[in-house]
Structure 1
Amino acid sequence: MDSHRFWNMTETTSAVSSIAQSSRGQLLRPRHSRHPPTRHSWSRARVQCASSIRCTMNNSVALETGSSIGTVTPVRPPQSGRSSLRPIPAVIRHGPASPGRSLRGWGDSGKPPSTADHEPYSMRSIARDQVEVMRSLGHERFRLVGHDRGARCAYRLALDEPDVVTRLAVMDVVPIGDVYDRADRTFSLSYWVWSFLAAPAPVPERFIAAAPTVLVDFMLDTWPEVKDAFPPEVRAAYVKQFSDPATVHAICEEFRAAATLDYQQDEADRGNRRITCPVLFLWSRHGQVAKLYDDPLAIWREWADDVRGEPVPVGHFIPEEAPDETSRQLLAFLS
C-alpha cells in the first residue's frame, strides 16, 4: 500500500495567484502560526477552505500553501485530503509557490465511476489529472515530490511526460513492476493490504465498512517507528475517510489497477523508457522497503539516469515522523 502524498513545486512563483483566478469555489490555505513547527503541527495543519479545478474526469482539489510545497491527499490508506495537509516548514520559508491537491478518489477530489479494467484509477490516469491541473494554472513544467501512492503517481507522470517534470523526489516505494516481480512469501505477509484491497468488489469494501477503525489503527500503529506521529484528531479524520463508501471503493479500485494496468505499463516501459530528470529517493530504514530489498536505491537506478538518496531512520511515514530531515533533503534537492 502506498501512502499518501504528492507535492508539486512549480518552476515559477505565480501558482498561488493562478489558483485564486482559475479555480472554482474557495481557496484552501493553511493558517499561519507564530509558533515554530513541530512534528505534530504537520498532522494538525488547519485549513480554511477548498477549491475545485475540473479535469477531464475528475475535480481535483487545489491547495494553496503560502510559498511552499503542499501535500496532496495521501494516497494510501489511511490518509485523507485535508487532514494530510502538512507543509514542510523549511521549504515553506525558502521555496517558490506551489499548489498541492488531493489525488483522484481521495479527500474532496472527484471519484469518477470506474470501469471493468479499472482504468480511471490507474496511475497513468491519475497522473494525467496532475498535468491538467498544473496547465490550468499556467505551469507547463514543474518539480514533483511524492510519498507512497503519491510517489507512484509522480514516477508514472515522469515516465509519461518527460518534458514536464524537471525534478522528482519519491519516498518509500519502488516501482510497481518491481514490487510484483520481486514478491515472495515475506511480501505476501507484510504487504497483505495490497492483495486485500485489490480483491474483487465488493469484498474489501464490505469488510472495511464493517470496521473502518480496525484498519486505520492497524496502519497507524504498526507502520510508523515514531509511535506518536498521529494525534487522536488526525486518526479520527482518517477513520472518517474510511467510513465513506465512495472513498473506500476508489481506494480499492486504485489497488486493482495497480495489480493490472499499472504493472503492465511498468513492464512495457522497462528497458524502453527511463526517467530523464534528476531523482531523489528516500526510504524508511525501519520500514518494509528496507526489509524487502537489499539495495532499493539500485532498483531506482534501473529506471533513471541520475538518482541519489539514502534511508531515513524512521518508519513508513517519513514526512510525519521526520519532518526536519525531510525538509533538509528536499531543500537540498529542489533548490
Structure 2
Amino acid sequence: MSAPFFPGFEVHRAELGDATIHAEVGGSGPPLLLLHGYPQTHVAWHRVAPALARHFTVVAPDLRGYGDSTGPGGDPLHIHHCKRTLGGDQVGLMKTLGFDRFAIVGHDRGARVGYRLCLDQPGVVSAFTSLTVVPTEVMWRRANMDFGLKAFHWYLFAQPFDLPERLLDADPAYFLDWSLRCAVLRFDAVTPQALAEYHRAFAKASVRHAMIEDYRAAASIDLRHDNEDLSADRRIACPLQVLWSASNTARPDPVEIWRQWADHVEGAAIDCGHLMAEEAPDEVLVHVLPFLQRHA
C-alpha cells in the first residue's frame, strides 16, 4: 500500500495492548506525527507527506479502528474511542519508534486527538497544527441549523448502538461518496487511487463502527474532558497553528476561538473545502512548513 502513496516510506505496526496501529514512516529529521480525519485513512496525507519527509521523520498512522488499525468494539462510556485513548495510542506508537516528543499536524478527528494530547500530556507535543478544527466543546455550543444540515453525521453517529451501524450497512459506498462530496469544493481533489483506498477501508463493518464510536465519544466523554479543562483553566502550552477554510465565515474566526484554549496561536484561511491536505496541498505546505521548522 505504501508504494503508490508514500514512496520510500516503510510500514510499521505497533501492538499496543487492545489496539494495533498501522503507520507509514519515512524521511529524516525531527519527528512529525500526521493524524487524519473522518472518513479517511493515513492516505489523506499523500500529497503533503513526501514534501514534509524532506525535513522531518514523518509518521502517518491510521487512527484506532480506522483503515488498517484495529481496536476493541464500543463500550457504554465510549472510553475505547475517546480522544484521550486515541491520543494514548499515538504516544505508544511514537515510543515504539524511539520518539518521546514530537510535533503533530492533525485534520478533523485527528486534530481532536491532537489537541487532547496537547492538554493531557503537554510535555510530549512540541508544536501542533490544527486543520479545519475548533474544540469539541465549542462545536457543540455553537451548533445551529446550518451546522446540523451540513454536519448531520455528528448527530446521526451519536445515536445509540446499533442504529447508525444498521443505516450505514445498507449502502456503505453510497454513504462514503456522499460524505466526501459534502466535504470538498472540488470532488476531483480526491484522486481515484485515494478514493479506492477509502472505499476499501469503509467497506469493513469494524471500521464504520469505530468511526461511529468516535462520534459517540465526541457527544459524551470528549465533551466532558473539554469542560473539565475549561473549569481547571488548563491550556495548550505548545505553539499552535490553526488553518481553516476561507468559506467558513463564522465569527469569531478560529484563531480567536483557540486563544481561549492556548497560549500561543497563529493561523490563516485557505481557499479550499474541508479536505485541505488533498484539495490545497501546496497552500497547506506554505503555512505548515515554516511553522514546524520554527517550533518542531
Q: Same fold (TM over 0.5)?
A: yes
Q: Show the counterpart of 1:250.
A: 210
Alignment of 1:135 onto 2:130 = no
Q: Is there any run of 5+ residues in structure 2 with no aligned partner, and where?
A: none
> Could you say if the C-alpha distance between residues 47 and 211 of structure 1 is closer, same or farther in structure 2, counting changes exceeding 3 Å?
farther
| Corresponding residue SS for 1:174 | coil
Letter in 1 for 2:100: E
Cα distance in 2 for partners of 1:245, 1:292 equals: 35
Q: Show the counterpart of 2:157.
A: 197
Cα distance in 2 for partners of 1:29, 1:237 equals: 11
Structure 2 counterparts to residues 1-335 of structure 1, below 5 A:
29-30=2-3, 44-45=5-6, 50-67=11-28, 72=34, 74-77=36-39, 79-82=40-43, 85-93=46-54, 95-271=55-231, 272-286=233-247, 290-335=248-293
Cα distance in 2 for partners of 1:240, 1:164 equals: 33
Cα distance in 1 for partners of 2:206, 2:10 equals: 21
Q: CA deviation at 1:45?
A: 4.8
Cα distance in 2 for partners of 1:326, 1:259 equals: 29
> Could you say if the C-alpha distance between residues 51 and 228 of structure 1 is closer, same or farther in structure 2, counting changes exceeding 3 Å?
same
The two structures have a TM-score, normalised by structure 1, of 0.81
| Corresponding residue SS for 2:53 | helix
> Could you say if the C-alpha distance between residues 220 and 285 of structure 1 is closer, same or farther in structure 2, counting changes exceeding 3 Å?
same
> Could you say if the C-alpha distance between residues 305 and 83 of structure 1 is closer, same or farther in structure 2, counting changes exceeding 3 Å?
closer
Cα distance in 2 for partners of 1:71, 1:131 equals: 10
Letter in 1 for 2:241: L
| Corresponding residue SS for 1:314 | coil
Q: CA deviation at 1:142?
A: 0.8
Q: Which stretch of structure 1 is more off in the superposition, 235-244 or 44-53?
A: 44-53
Cα distance in 2 for partners of 1:46, 1:89 equals: 8
Contact map agreement 1:47 1:82 (CA 8 A) in 2: no
Letter in 1 for 2:230: R
> Could you say if the C-alpha distance between residues 46 and 201 of structure 1 is closer, same or farther in structure 2, counting changes exceeding 3 Å?
farther
Cα distance in 1 for partners of 2:157, 2:250 equals: 20
Q: CA deviation at 1:56?
A: 2.9
The two structures have a TM-score, normalised by structure 2, of 0.91
Q: CA deviation at 1:302?
A: 0.4
Cα distance in 1 for partners of 2:199, 2:23 equals: 23
Cα distance in 2 for partners of 1:67, 1:49 equals: 13
Q: CA deviation at 1:231?
A: 2.5
Q: Is there any run of 5+ residues in structure 1 with no aligned partner, and where?
A: 1-27, 32-43
Cα distance in 1 for partners of 2:140, 2:49 equals: 32
User: Residue deviations 1:12-45, cap 9 Å, x none?
Assistant: xxxxxxxxxxxxxxxx8546xxxxxxxxxxxx55
Cα distance in 2 for partners of 1:295, 1:102 equals: 29
Contact map agreement 2:6 2:24 (CA 8 A) in 1: no
> Could you say if the C-alpha distance between residues 182 and 171 of structure 1 is closer, same or farther in structure 2, counting changes exceeding 3 Å?
same
Cα distance in 1 for partners of 2:196, 2:2 equals: 21
| Corresponding residue SS for 1:53 | strand
> Could you say if the C-alpha distance between residues 304 and 250 of structure 1 is closer, same or farther in structure 2, counting changes exceeding 3 Å?
same
Q: CA deviation at 1:133?
A: 1.4
